[in-house]
Structure 1
Amino acid sequence: MLRELFIKKFAVIDELRVELHEGLNVLTGETGAGKSIVVDALGLILGQRGQSNFIKTGAKETVVEAIFDAVSVASTEALGIDVSEELIIRRVVSSTGKNRSFINDSSVGIATVTEIGSTLVDIHSQHENQSLMSKSRQMRLLDSFGRTEDAVKDYSITLGRYRAMLDERARLAQNISNRDKRIEILRFQIDEITAADLDAKEAETLSKERAVLANLTTLKELSEGAYEVLHKRDGAMEDQSAVVVDSLEKLTKIDESASEILSMAKETQSYIKELSVMLRRYKDNIDFVPERLDTIETRLEAIRKLERKYGETVEVILNYRDSAVAELDELTAVNEKLDSIEAEIASARKRLEAAAEDISKQRAVTARRLESEIASTLKVLAMPKARLEISLTLNRNEDGSLKLLNDGADTVEFLFTANPGEPLKQLQKIASGGELSRVMLALKSAFAEYDDIPVLVFDEVDAGIGGETAERVADKLKELSKRRQVLCVTHLPQIASRADNHLMIHKHVSDDAVAITVETLYGQDRQVELARMLSGSITDISLEHARELLKKGGDV
């Protein structure tokens, strides 16, 4: 239930707090007092587009807040917002065009507000195409009325799988059309990479070896020079180290404290001899072989060529080959896969067509039952000759097969005529506001058992009606309010007299400002307002008539 609506700096409203009750709530007041502005503000809560012209002149922003009793809303649960005690939706629209939305003080996107708002409140006004005007909404309501939602849900799940199989078949068929050429390319690439016998470290190793081969002359000169210093040249380090050791041996015989120096000298002499042997081997093994350098250059160029074609590194090339092998395996097995998926598609389509036909049959039965119920309600609303027909079309393709749509194979359309002999028209093309109001009221009444939207708002549903018809509309609104909370903006005293909560909108105009206030009417004040609505002025006759209406409505 909607408990309270707070409006600040909206249109001509400075600040307004509207308290609502269970049952039938009515808003009355002089023409232009601002009753419909309240409904417009509520529309902002439902996610309608926030516009700068909503903002009161001179204000920086408008704020609209609605407080609902605790409800269970999947969207808030997914966002982790606790609404176990109450749900508060707040919209803030600034003069700069910035919109902000909050649920229980948690910032949310406008899409979330729209989704949640659509489950809480349904507004019907003279100038709006409401949810019942939508063919998809009409279809959902028909399914809800006939309890076919589960069958439609199962159908939709199967349809999703069927469409996925069609996509897979198209992909496989595309593969077949290009398969032979692609197989030839893949086999060439796999063979080329495999024949190269690549190793991840090979290029690095070859590059190092190439660097050595390219500098053999320098290496030879350097190693020869070092060897001569150690071994061959006059005064070579080997000879000099021997002289040092001989001298230290003699010295140690005289002074034993020099034994450690002698030991170090002998160790150094041993290192020099070993270094000399190693250098001799190194220089003797330096042998320039031009063919080896050519071989390395050729191999490195082959690797670089593969890198340019398949990737920047050997690892990438090898990964490409593995992917090519997997694709080749798939292509060579595509015929077998295609045959298998064709059989699955045929089976799924057969199940879908059977389900769609069954759903269509159930809808046809439901449509006739709903038409009968609507006709009975329209008679109560003083439209005894009116007829609402639910048109169901089972769509087929050119080959006669069923056209599989998202929720079956049907399209649905609510058609209406007010008088015998007149053609049926689409519901949204009904010209008369009074007729449209009563049809919408009849539909709302019929669907109230099945549509779980808790709050219904009617903005001037009384357009174009009066007298006995007004009485009947009032009775129907009262009946509807026993199952849903109803908020009704009205000019008809017959409807206002049935209210469980009567709110009057006052517009106060001064030289430099306009103020809107709301007053909950009781007793004598309510009688006076009904008298004004009856005759435009307060007279003994209009007051008496107002008392009669209240008595009839059970309030006196």
Structure 2
Amino acid sequence: MLETLRIQNYALIDDLEVDFTGGFNVLTGETGAGKSILVGALNVVLGGRASAESVRKGAKQARLDAAFRIQNPSRRLMRLFDEHTIELEDATLLLSRVVTAEGRSRAYVSGRLVPVAVLAAIGDELVDLHGQHEHQSLLKTDRQLELLDAFADTERDAADLARSVADLRKLEQAVAELESVDRSKARRADFLRFEMEEIDGVHLEPGEEAELRSRRNLIANTERICELTARAYALLYDSQERSAIDAVDAALSDLEALGEIDERFRPLTGQLTDVRANLDQIAAEVRGYTGEIDYDPAELDAVNARLAVIGNLKRKYGDSVDAILQYRDKAFEELQAFDQRDLRLADMRVRHDALAEEATQKAAALSGKRRAAAKKLDRQITAALQELGMKGGRFETHFETCNLAAAGIDRAEFLLAANPGETLKALRHVASGGEISRIMLALKAVFARADKIPTLIFDEIDAGVGGHIAGKVADKLSELAALHQTICVSHIPQIAAAAQTHHNVAKTTSKKRTTTTVSRVSGEARAEEIARLLDGSVSDVSLSHARELLAQHGTA
């Protein structure tokens, strides 16, 4: 609730501090005394428009401070505190606004400089200011749906739906991101498949390139190999002159003869016999190798072609057959990962469809409850308007079905016709001033328990009100004050008498300077102020009537 409002160098106010209480507060005073200046100052400190003209003549700047005691803050207010790292000290929050004579302004929350928009957002959660000011939550369509949910007792349903829709949107974003990634990944996958098909189509074998190069070397040197093997065989075995075998046989014959003469030659005979056997084997292998050579020019072309294919793959995928095969294996693993993404995406789409169906059903059920409650709300507010003297006034909650959103499938707007024969209009298009204040009073009275805004201020609620209706307005304000701090600017004695705290606004002139002052009145001084409201002056009759009004409301 608003505890203290301090105003310095603002309009007709030099330096003024007003302390408010919980319950019903009223501000009275003669026309032009400055009651609306107080409300205007409060509007500015709550983030409303500020101008250089509001700075007191001769002052460099105006300063406005509003101290609030915060109890049971709304979720929206706590969110604002968290977003802007605002901390409370002893449950007290200080909103401040400085306006310079040049028209520049600065906003503060508990001494911390903040954008005016932040100040206004916090102010919207603390005060509803009804009159010719912008701090009227009921004029905002998003708040109207929230109030309807509070009235219909569907806040938990709405919160549950909001969570489901948030989960749905999060999943939709994940699907979209995965699909976006998959478009580029799909191109990558197609390219990998092409590369794998190119590699697999060649049917590479480990070590194949070395074998091919060896084979090509043999084929390229076939004539030389034939020439050398033929000559080697001839020298070993088949020379027309004397072959190596012939020489060994001759030497072996001589050694055998020597062995018969001297036994020391016999081991040499054995060794040379082994040499003779080895030469036979070598000669046979050389002859056999020569016989195996089958020179085919087409085979050389095939080997060269195969090596060219391998060389082409090496330029793309690796510097060896083994490297190419490793690249192919990695491409396969990457493709498998893509397949897993496809499975994941398919699973996400299934979950999305299920969640969308669930959220749609919740939204439909919530919409039904809202529309049923709206009929009851329309009847109650229409009746309240009648009580406050707006005969023929009608209230209606208009619904439009929209796409599924966090708030559901409903777009709700409060419509009102203030007088008989008028067409229903959105609240924001209804007449301003006292009429809108009474309309808001009717709405606030019905929404009293549903509304979470702690402080309500009614400016110019007197327009067109008198007699019996004035008493009804006072009763509604009293009912409202039982649940919300209520501050009312009024000229009506019945309203003033119903208040628990009464402030009198006066204007004084000293040394050619006019100053607005505010004083709390009680006891006989209060009775005299109400008597003045009754009759324009204080008389025995008006004073007696004033005392009766105070006694009637139990506020004497």
In structure 2, what is the equivalent of residue 387 of structure 1?
Answer: 394
Structure 2 residue 479 is the aligned partner of structure 1 residue 472: no
Which amino acid in 2 is paired with 1:18? V
Structure 2 residue 373 is the aligned partner of structure 1 residue 361: no
In structure 2, what is the equivalent of residue 320 of structure 1?
Answer: none
Structure 2 residue 382 is the aligned partner of structure 1 residue 375: yes
SS at 1:132 equivalent: helix
In structure 2, what is the equivalent of residue 40 of structure 1?
Answer: 40
Deviations 1:403-430 (A, max 9, x none): 2022100111112224555432222222
Q: Contact 1:508 / 1:515 at 8 angstroms: preserved in 2? A: yes
> C-alpha separation between the residues in 1 aligned to 2:114 and 2:56?
24
In structure 2, what is the equivalent of residue 427 of structure 1?
Answer: 427
SS at 1:431 equivalent: coil
- Aligned counterpart for 1:120 among listed residues 89, 101, 126: 126
- 1:336 Cα offset (Å): 3.4
> C-alpha separation between the residues in 2 aligned to 1:70 and 1:352?
35
Deviations 1:44-94 (A, max 9, x none): 332334443332222222222223335354355783734335333333334
- For residues 132-143 of structure 1, what are the structure 2 equivalents within 5 Å? 132-143=138-149
In structure 1, what is the equivalent of residue 66 of structure 2?
Answer: 66
In structure 2, what is the equivalent of residue 439 of structure 1?
Answer: 439
> C-alpha separation between the residues in 2 aligned to 1:38 and 1:433?
16
- 1:531 Cα offset (Å): 3.4
Deviations 1:498-517 (A, max 9, x none): 22111111112356322111
Gaps of 5+ in 2: 198-315, 317-329
TM-score normalized with structure 2 length: 0.67
> C-alpha separation between the residues in 2 aligned to 1:549 and 1:331?
82
> C-alpha separation between the residues in 1 aligned to 2:501 and 2:59?
32
- For residues 457-496 of structure 1, what are the structure 2 equivalents within 5 Å? 457-496=457-496
Which amino acid in 1 is paired with 2:123? G
Deviations 1:345-403 (A, max 9, x none): 211111111010011111122212222332332333234543211122333xxxxxxx2
CA gap 1:81/1:462 in 2 versus in 1, 3 angstroms: same
> C-alpha separation between the residues in 2 aligned to 1:536 and 1:329?
92
- 1:324 Cα offset (Å): 10
SS at 1:465 equivalent: coil
Q: Contact 1:490 / 1:496 at 8 angstroms: preserved in 2? A: yes
- For residues 101-500 of structure 1, what are the structure 2 equivalents within 5 Å? 101-103=108-110, 105-106=111-112, 110-128=116-134, 130-174=136-180, 181-183=187-189, 331=338, 335-383=342-390, 385-395=392-402, 403-431=403-431, 433-500=433-500
Which amino acid in 1 is paired with 2:471? E
CA gap 1:506/1:182 in 2 versus in 1, 3 angstroms: same
CA gap 1:9/1:324 in 2 versus in 1, 3 angstroms: farther
- 1:454 Cα offset (Å): 1.9
Q: Contact 2:397 / 2:415 at 8 angstroms: preserved in 1? A: yes
> C-alpha separation between the residues in 2 aligned to 1:344 and 1:156?
17
SS at 1:409 equivalent: strand
Deviations 1:95-139 (A, max 9, x none): 462514131x45555455334333322211145461101111010
Q: Contact 2:97 / 2:105 at 8 angstroms: preserved in 1? A: no
Cα-Cα RMSD: 3.5
CA gap 1:528/1:382 in 2 versus in 1, 3 angstroms: same
454-463 vs 348-357, which deviates more? 454-463
Q: Contact 2:433 / 2:459 at 8 angstroms: preserved in 1? A: no
SS at 2:446 equivalent: helix
Q: Contact 1:374 / 1:388 at 8 angstroms: preserved in 2? A: yes
Gaps of 5+ in 1: 192-305, 307-322, 396-402
> C-alpha separation between the residues in 1 aligned to 2:176 and 2:70?
49
> C-alpha separation between the residues in 1 aligned to 2:535 and 2:20?
27
CA gap 1:98/1:547 in 2 versus in 1, 3 angstroms: closer
Which amino acid in 2 is paired with 1:392? F
- 1:172 Cα offset (Å): 4.3
Which amino acid in 2 is paired with 1:10? Y
Number of residue pairs matched by the alignment? 422
In structure 2, what is the equivalent of residue 507 of structure 1?
Answer: 507
> C-alpha separation between the residues in 2 aligned to 1:21 and 1:475?
19
> C-alpha separation between the residues in 2 aligned to 1:326 and 1:125?
70
Q: Contact 2:162 / 2:407 at 8 angstroms: preserved in 1? A: yes
In structure 2, what is the equivalent of residue 254 of structure 1?
Answer: none
TM-score normalized with structure 1 length: 0.67
SS at 1:453 equivalent: coil
Deviations 1:189-212 (A, max 9, x none): 999xxxxxxxxxxxxxxxxxxxxx
> C-alpha separation between the residues in 2 aligned to 1:380 and 1:170?
55
Which amino acid in 2 is paired with 1:8? Q
CA gap 1:147/1:189 in 2 versus in 1, 3 angstroms: farther
Which amino acid in 1 is paired with 2:423? P
Which amino acid in 2 is paired with 1:22? G
Q: Contact 2:391 / 2:420 at 8 angstroms: preserved in 1? A: no
> C-alpha separation between the residues in 2 aligned to 1:24 and 1:64?
23
Deviations 1:252-306 (A, max 9, x none): xxxxxxxxxxxxxxxxxxxxxxxxxxxxxxxxxxxxxxxxxxxxxxxxxxxxxx9
Q: Contact 2:437 / 2:459 at 8 angstroms: preserved in 1? A: no
- 1:145 Cα offset (Å): 1.4
Which amino acid in 1 is paired with 2:27? L
Q: Contact 1:11 / 1:56 at 8 angstroms: preserved in 2? A: yes
Which amino acid in 2 is paired with 1:489? V
Which amino acid in 2 is paired with 1:43? N
Q: Contact 1:71 / 1:87 at 8 angstroms: preserved in 2? A: no
> C-alpha separation between the residues in 2 aligned to 1:514 and 1:189?
91
In structure 1, what is the equivalent of residue 533 of structure 2?
Answer: 533
Which amino acid in 2 is paired with 1:12? L
Which amino acid in 2 is paired with 1:86? T
CA gap 1:419/1:119 in 2 versus in 1, 3 angstroms: closer
Which amino acid in 1 is paired with 2:503? L
Q: Contact 1:143 / 1:149 at 8 angstroms: preserved in 2? A: yes
Q: Contact 2:132 / 2:432 at 8 angstroms: preserved in 1? A: no
> C-alpha separation between the residues in 1 aligned to 2:70 and 2:184?
60
- 1:449 Cα offset (Å): 1.0
> C-alpha separation between the residues in 2 aligned to 1:132 and 1:368?
18
Q: Contact 1:61 / 1:94 at 8 angstroms: preserved in 2? A: yes
- 1:166 Cα offset (Å): 2.5
SS at 2:380 equivalent: helix
- 1:527 Cα offset (Å): 3.2
Which amino acid in 2 is paired with 1:29? G
CA gap 1:357/1:28 in 2 versus in 1, 3 angstroms: same
Structure 2 residue 555 is the aligned partner of structure 1 residue 549: no
- Identical-pair percentage: 39
